[in-house]
Amino acid sequence: MGTYGLAASRRTFVLVTPENHIVARAARSEAALAAMLGELTYPPATQIVVEERLLRELPGTGRALVAHHVCIVPDGLVDALYTVASRHRRSPRTTAALLARVPSAGWFSCDIRRREPGSERQTQLF
């Protein structure tokens, strides 16, 4: 299963592979994010990993991700990983790459909430 990390800066969204390769960038809006994800050609089993903070601060993100497999990582876990890896500067690209790696580490599986593609009503629970 392919995994991408999604993070946002003040102006853009960035989608990154676990190897820190940028897949796509989009303006920070629900429409731009939905268009970016709609144009991607990736296997159907691909999952997109987001930080819970992103869904909370930008509600449109959840609506744009409704048609995708999503892994939601708690804010505290991401903050803790950055504390351990303090040599890394926190930027949207490094955050997205870090998020994309989290599901492959089995010891974090109990902290991750997974959401399968579904109706728009499901995103309101997040």
- The continuous run of DSSP H or E covering 75 comes out as helix 75-84
Q: What range does the domain containing 34 cover? A: 3-123
pLDDT exceeds cutoff 80 at 119: no
Which of 2, 115, 9, 5 lies closest to 62, judged by CA?
A: 115
* Cβ within 8 Å of residue 48, ≥6 positions away: 3, 4, 5, 6, 15, 37, 65, 68, 69, 70, 71
Strand order in the sheet with 3-8: 22-27, 12-16, 3-8, 47-51, 69-73, 113-115
Overall average pLDDT of the 84-88 stretch: 64
pLDDT at residue number 44: 65
Confidence of residue 15 (pLDDT cuts 50, 70, 90): very high
**Residue bearing the bigger pLDDT, 84 or 56:** 56
Q: pLDDT band for 103, please (50, 70, 90 cuts).
A: confident
The count of domains in the chain is 1
Q: How far apart are CA 68 and CA 45, in angstroms?
A: 9
Q: Give the confidence band of 43 by pLDDT, cuts at 50, 70, 90.
A: low
CATH number at residue 38: 3.30.420
**Average of per-residue pLDDT across 96-125:** 71
How far is Cα 8 from Cα 6, in angstroms, rounded to an integer? 7
